[in-house]
Amino acid sequence: MRILVTGGAGFIGSHLIDRLMEAGHEVLCLDNFYTGHKRNILRWLDHPYFELIRHDITEPIRLEVDQIYHLACPASPVHYQYNPVKTIKTNVIGTLNMLGLAKRVRARFLLASTSEIYGDPEVHPQAEEYRGNVNTIGIRSCYDEGKRVAETLAFDYHRQNDVDIRVARIFNTYGPRMLENDGRVVSNFVVQALQGNPLTIYGDGSQTRSFCYVADLVEGLIRLMAGDHVGPVNLGNPDEYTILELAKTIQTMVNPDAAVKFEPLPQDDPRRRRPDITRAKHWLGWQPTVSLKPGLEKTIQDFRQRLEHLPTPASARVSG
């Protein structure tokens, strides 16, 4: 099968490409390298079934493919807030372009949506029926509302043009190949602990997140693409931890002497985040298999190897 992965040089996209290539598919990786990196796909560059296309999805492109995994968009607060207009253009214009491509070539289209569409939720845990609590004019809205519009576009193309879509709502995901400076809580705690810096907690650390190891997430995406259900489907780990609990876990695993410091909570930072994965269990036969500590061990090992080659410390705001 000929499969396009947008954002394929990114953290999740590159792990997905590994699985698709190992399964014998012909894979096209499309990325503008805004947050993706060639090192994530180096092993496939000379493979006859792999093609790398440097392209920005806000510009149209003509390809012949059977499936499209649409992952392209900065997903961490530091990166999507750096250029918010670019972020919403990627979510809206980029998704329009990819849906137009799927319509022309009759490809099945999977949208990588996000738990951020639930905003700062008033319902806990979050099931797919919940419509969310999003600030339309806040600093996170370029991503939150951008993904909500992307879902709208996907379902409108499905209803109006009979495009075969799948929609995954991805909750916090971690693992090897996360960027050192991406502003997400796992990567920043690990980097800070490895470099002997204080672990920065925003707010009092009582806000919660649920952390899904990347291999589990990729399995869920592949099952959703291969299945019969359009979605949306939550993909995430329902085990819930406070940010303070996560900080102490990483502190113990990496550097027990690392300090912890507290800073003001960023605007619109969600207080609680946990997926209801009943649909994923029922429709896909899927649930996470990697618990937090083993996943963190692999993540820490990856960061430790990469940080040995970094000339200066990575720094970024921790968020969820």
CATH number at residue 117: 3.40.50.720
Q: Are 173 and 12 in contact (CB under 8 A)?
A: yes
Residues 82 and 227 in one domain: yes
202 classed as catalytic = no
Asked if 163 and 293 sit in the same domain, the reply is no
Residue 313 lies in a domain: no
The pLDDT value given to residue 317: 43
Low-confidence stretches of the chain (pLDDT beneath 50): 312-319
* Res 311: pLDDT: 53
Shared domain check, 183 and 127: no
Our CA angle for 291, 111, 292, nearest 5°, is: 10
pLDDT of residue 310: 58
User: 302 in a domain, yes or no?
Assistant: yes
pLDDT score, position 106: 98
pLDDT at 319: 43
pLDDT of res. 271? 87
Same domain, 256 and 141: no
Q: Are residues 169 and 301 in the same domain?
A: no
CATH number of the structural domain spanning residue 186: 3.90.25.10
> Which of these is catalytic: 34, 143, 157, 241?
143
